[in-house]
Amino acid sequence: MSKVDFAAMRAAMVASQLRTSDVNDPAIIAAMASVPREDFVPAERQDTCYIDRPIPLGGGVMMNPPLATGRLLLAAQVKAGDKVLLLGDSTGYTAALLKAVGAEVTSVQANPARGNAKNAPYDAIVIDGAVDVFPPALTGQLADDGRIATGLVERGVVRLASGRKAAGVVGFVMLADIEMARASGFEPEKAGFVF
């Protein structure tokens, strides 16, 4: 049985998925070319971890395709020295990429919709997946002129969204339709039966 050449797969991902889709920030490209994605998925998924599809992790949790991760980081405009709140990163891969870019990362997995007010304010908030609604509690944790990147679900379609805080309010711009896993821990509240 031949050994899988993950370095070659990583290089192909950068060349054929990222660069062809305008993920061209040198720091993001360098991070995604060097951080071994295969180390962040179950062993049985390693051979396919660089394909441009969500990866099932078990329990209904999915890992974003590489392109979605690259586009999220690009939309967040994260740079070295930024203080970043990362929400919904189920594997640690996105945290590793942000650290490789030079960001100071606070990662929250339990109750991510609440964020982490203790370390606020943040220069950027990255939600590693798609959500139905941006949690209002996170607005207060973002610095003035801070950035947000996530996927927002609109009528069943996921759109990559970039947000910025001004005058205490976050406004979003929809950048593109994108295939993105739903962020775990951001499930919408179910409406109860009302008489």
CATH code of the domain in which 50 resides: 3.40.50.150
159 located within any domain: yes
> Residues 111-135: pLDDT tens digits?
899 999 999 999 999 999 999 999 9
* pLDDT at position 1: 44
183 located within any domain: no
15 located within any domain: yes
44 located within any domain: yes
Range of the domain at 73: 6-177
27 located within any domain: yes
46 located within any domain: yes
Report for 134-138, 184-188, 191-195: range of highest mean pLDDT: 134-138
- What six digits make up the tokens of 190? 């179910």
> Residues 77-117: pLDDT tens digits?
999 999 999 999 989 999 999 999 999 999 998 889 999 99
* pLDDT at position 122: 98
Mean pLDDT confidence for 52-57: 92
* pLDDT at position 189: 59
- Residues of the chain with pLDDT > 70: what percent? 95
133 located within any domain: yes
Number of domains in the chain: 1
190 located within any domain: no
Mean per-residue pLDDT of the chain: 92
